[in-house]
Amino acid sequence: MIATAASNRRRQRIFLIAGAILAAYALLAPLTSLDAAQSANVPLLADKFWFQIATNIAMFIVMATAWNIIGGITGYAAFGNVAFFGIGAYTTGMLIAKAKWPFLLALPLAPVVAAAFAALVGLPLLRLRGHYFAVASLGVGVAVGELVQNIDYAGQPVFGGASGLFLPIFRIDNRGLFFFYLMSAAAALSIAVTWWMLRSRLGYGLIAIRENEEAASVLGVNTTAYKVAAFALAAALTGLAGGIFSQWNVFVNQDNVFPITYNIQMILMALLGGTGTVFGPATGAVLLYLLIQFLGGTLPISFDLPFVSSDARPIVAQVILGLLLVVVVIFVPRGVIDFFGGRTRLSVAYLRRSLRETSL
C-alpha cells in the first residue's frame, strides 16, 4: 500500500503537469492566429474554427461545472438550468438590443438577474426532494422559455417575441479571440468557485445536506439558506455564460438559448466527468463535446464507416454516440475523473468491478 501511495503521488504529479501543459496550449495556441503573430512568422497552431470549438467547450465547462454545484455537491438534481442560460442571454441581449447599452456594461447584469430569479424560484422549489425537485425545475426551464418568447404588452412582444433579438455585431479586431478568452475566463471562474466552495463552510454544509439533510439541519446548518445560495450561485455562473453567448452569437431566440437538450447535455458532462469534484464536470465537458464533434465528422481527425452510405452516415454517427454513452455509463459509473489523480487505473479488473458494483 505504501509503495503504491508513492507511485500514486508521482502519477498525480504527471497528470497535473500534463493538464497544465494542455491548458496552456489551449489558451495560447489561438494567439498564433493574430495577424501580428503571423507576420512575425509564428507557426499557426489554431485557426478560427478551433476557437469556435474551444469557446463552445468553455461554455459547456461553465454549464456543467455550475450544474455540479447544485446537482453534484448539493445533490439536488436540477433539470432546468438552461433557464438561467436563457435568462442571462436575454438580459444582456435586451440591454444591448433595446436599451443600447455597451456589451461590457450589460454583461455583469446577466449573472445578477439569473441569480435573483434562481433565489426567487429556489425558495419554493428547493423544499422538494429527489425526483420532485428534478421535475419541478424542468418545468421552470420549459415555462421560462415559453414566457420570454410569448409575453406581449399592448400588442407588442416585450422580449423580441418569436423573431428573437438581433444584437449589433461586436466591432473589435480578433472578435473570435476576444470571446474565446472571455468564455475561458468564465470557465476558470466557475472552476475556481467550485474549488473554493469545497474548502469552505458553504461547501461542507452543502455536502452535509447531500449526505443527510435532516442530520445537517440538526447540526445547525441553515439548509434553506445553503441550498438557495448554491442554486443562485449555479444560476449566476450559467447566466454569465448565457450573457457572453448572446453577444458572441449575435442572434438570440428561444431555440438558441433555451434548448431543452442543454439540460441533458450539461448533466451528461458532469456525470461523465465525475460529480462532486472540482475538475470532473470540466473534463466531462471537454470529452463529450469533442466526442460529439468527432462523430459528427467536424474534426480534422475523421473516420470512415464501412458499408455505410453517405446519406446514412450522420444517422449512424448518432447511433454510435448513443451506444458509447451506454457503454461508458455501464463501465465507468463514477465518471472518468476516477482515472486522473492516481486513485484508480483503467484496467479490465476495474471495468469488471464497476459492472459488478452497479449491476443487479
**What residues from 123 to 142 belong to the interface with another protein (CB under 8 A)?**
124-125, 127-132, 134-136, 138-140, 142
Give the three-class secondary structure for 297.
Answer: coil
Q: Estimate the crossing angle of helix 223-249 against helix 48-67, to 10 degrees.
A: 160
Give the three-class secondary structure for 145.
Answer: helix
Nearest distance in Å: CB 134, another protein:
7
Nearest distance in Å: CB 145, another protein:
9
Nearest CB to another protein, comparing residues 200 and 298: 298
Nearest CB to another protein, comparing residues 83 and 342: 83
Residue 3 C-alpha cell reads as 509503495
CA–CA separation, 32 and 117 (whole Å): 41
Phi first, then psi, for residue 29 (nearest 5°) are -55, -40
Cα angle 105, 191, 350 (rounded to 5 degrees) comes to: 155
Nearest distance in Å: CB 159, another protein:
13
110, 89 contact by CB (below 8 A): yes
For the residues of 243-280, what is the DSSP string, one character each?
A: HHHHHHHSEE-HHHH--HHHHHHHHHHHHHH-TTSSSH
CA–CA separation, 136 and 126 (whole Å): 9
Among 4, 108, 297, 353, binds another protein (CB under 8 A): 297
By CB under 8 A, the residues from 95 to 114 that bind another protein are none
74, 198 contact by CB (below 8 A): no
Nearest distance in Å: CB 74, another protein:
13
Which residues does residue 251 pair with via DSSP β-bridges, in sequence order?
166
Q: Contact letters (x/-) for another protein, 142-181, by CB under 8 A?
A: xx--xx-xx-x--------xxxx-x--x-----x------
92, 101 contact by CB (below 8 A): no
301 lies in the binding site for another protein (CB under 8 A): no
Long-range CB contact pairs, 40-47, < 8 A, 24+ = none
By CB under 8 A, the residues from 315 to 344 that bind another protein are 315-319, 321-326, 328-330, 333
Nearest distance in Å: CB 152, another protein:
7
Distance of CA 308 to the CA centre of its chain: 33
- Which among 1-9, 180-188, 236-244, 261-269 is the span making contact with another protein, rule CB under 8 A? 261-269
CA–CA separation, 325 and 308 (whole Å): 21
199 lies in the binding site for another protein (CB under 8 A): no
By CB under 8 A, the residues from 44 to 83 that bind another protein are 47-49, 52-53, 56, 71, 77
Nearest CB to another protein, comparing residues 23 and 308: 308
By CB under 8 A, the residues from 204 to 233 that bind another protein are none
Among 109, 116, 189, 250, binds another protein (CB under 8 A): 250
By CB under 8 A, the residues from 9 to 48 that bind another protein are 47-48
CA–CA separation, 332 and 355 (whole Å): 8
Nearest distance in Å: CB 3, another protein:
32
Nearest distance in Å: CB 295, another protein:
10
126, 233 contact by CB (below 8 A): no
Q: Name the residue with cell 453567448.
A: 245
Nearest CB to another protein, comparing residues 11 and 313: 313
Among 120, 200, 255, 346, binds another protein (CB under 8 A): 255
Nearest distance in Å: CB 163, another protein:
4
Nearest distance in Å: CB 330, another protein:
5
Nearest CB to another protein, comparing residues 7 and 302: 302
Q: Estimate the crossing angle of helix 223-249 against helix 82-97, to 10 degrees.
A: 50
Q: How many positions of this chain bind another protein (CB under 8 A)?
A: 78
